[in-house]
Structure 1
């Protein structure tokens, strides 16, 4: 690496990559936009590659930019961990965890509380969001592990997956739904249908199931995997919702929602822990993984 590359270059690059604009990053760093632009230009000159391309008002990473961000992020994390290790009496560190909806309402809250009791000095930084977003965060080193559905085979390059349990996709409705005893093909055409978004891992399985009912391409009224939104819509209507059981497990246990029988077994999938193959050991991560195995909640 060119000896003139400084940590300020790396931090500026990582912030721009995360934000996509110069103006907001410059404000946060207390710089003028021209000064930040010069810092980025210096880094690109020193590396000999273009790290971004402009699309309208945003800066989009080039292929070289994606590659450099991965390594630069890991390097900054290692430096920060090294600096923290030299400070006696400070917190042990932090573990950054990405939680997909299927693990967010029951599994991970229980694990987080057990982890807190065992490791009170380790901070759990919890990130939530859709699968593609968290997968990008994992690859870029911005989270240390991801908990939820197993990624598809095409997304597994450079990653490892540890299975925890199998979880089904359920069709849920409010308790007392007036059409609960109707054939599903008829019911699904008679009431508002809520599906997972197109980029959700479970959407393909749901689409395949709808095809077996002779309803390929059935248009949903809404798309979400968010518990608060789905629960609120079901409570105030006759809508039905295809969703991972883990998202609505508490509501099913309380009887607020009911699961309508689908009659098939292929509406299920593996839930577990996804990590980078090349990730460095993180203090406390082994305990977190062990607690996930012990607390798994199908």
Structure 2
């Protein structure tokens, strides 16, 4: 049968010659000699019993028969490549599914992922950003393999293992040029005059914020918006006089660039531990171990 005599090299060579309208250019691209390309094309034409290419000036042009065959040849080569890619995915490393707080996603993960990809583990990676409690629940159910975030309350850590990375505290953030920045002596009570973006009830940093406000005589604030959206927080604070109560890592770059400013208040008492949380019964995963090592290294480099 005809199809048993056609080889992949026939299809590949024909496609390259047709693509470049040149035997010489196709030979260069494929890294073979021109006579080898010409021989392969003649073999294919002999098998098919049809002329696929004709000389035209210094190059070649595809015939009507060639145009018909090219559509099928291209589809065949694409199908073979899809099969190769499928086998590569089967042989890839185990997936790595990471949950990260917004502060970690902005501060740690970009560089960590660059270094992880350079290791060429071939493991598919999924990164989920969200609220700490939600991420920990996904870790428990096996949807995630690792959570990089704040240390949760003891009752939420059953069956989980925490490794400390670095401390992080809450900041009161405003836009550059905010009226509160002009006060010679900052009056904390003036916060009541402005809209406050607060972490939601149930979020890992909310108890730190509530205790801090209570100790400063601010048990209640009249104008608050609860949000976990850092994109909304950035946009709203830059465009209004709102005050954003947020973990400092989320706004590190904005503060460094001068777009946002922390209010001059000591919030060191809101400092909490950020680290790696995994399941105690998690199966071995070499790719995950590599990522954990990289996150440790990136964290140390950020601290230096």
Question: Which whole-Å CA distance do the structure 2 matches of 1:270 and 1:88 have between them?
Answer: 37
CA deviation after TM superposition for structure 1 residue 250, in Å: 1.1
What does residue 283 of structure 1 align with?
A: 286
Secondary structure at the aligned position of 1:162 is classed as strand
Q: Is the 8 A contact 2:175 2:241 kept in 1?
A: yes
State how far apart, in whole Å, the 2-side matches of 1:250 and 1:125 are.
24
Task: Please report the TM-score for the alignment, with normalisation by the length of structure 2.
Answer: 0.66
CA distance in 2, matches of 1:292, 1:268: 21
Secondary structure of the structure 2 residue equivalent to 1:266: helix
Coordinate RMSD, CA, aligned: 1.8
Q: Which has the larger radius of gyration?
A: 2
1:87 CA displacement = 7.7
**Contact 1:184/1:262 (CA < 8 Å) preserved in 2?**
no
Distance in structure 1 (CA, Å) of the matches to 2:187 and 2:103 = 24
Question: In 1, Cα distance between the equivalents of 2:128 and 2:268?
Answer: 31
Q: Secondary structure at the match of 1:280?
A: coil
State whether structure 2 residue 256 is matched by structure 1 residue 253.
Answer: yes
Relative to structure 1, the CA distance from residue 237 to residue 161 in structure 2 (aligned partners, 3 Å threshold; closer, same or farther) is: same
Instruction: Tell me if the contact between 2:200 and 2:227 (Cα under 8 Å) persists in the aligned partners.
Output: yes
CA distance in 2, matches of 1:103, 1:219: 30
Q: 247, 254, 262: which one pairs with 1:244? A: 247
Match of 1:72 in 2: none
- Aligned twin of 1:233: 236
Q: Give the C-alpha shift of residue 88 in structure 1.
A: 8.8
CA distance in 1, matches of 2:175, 2:189: 18
More helix per residue: 2
Cα shift at 1:283? 2.2
Instruction: Name the residue aligned to 1:123.
Output: 124
TM-score, normalised to structure 1, is 0.68
Structure 1 stretch displaced more, 245-254 or 87-96: 87-96
Q: 2:142 aligned with 1:141, yes or no?
A: yes
**Secondary structure, aligned partner of 1:263:** coil
Instruction: Give the one of 197, 207, 211 matched to 1:208.
Output: 211
Gaps of 5+ in 2: 1-86
Deviation at 1:163, TM superposition (A): 0.5
Match of 1:177? 178
Aligned length: 213
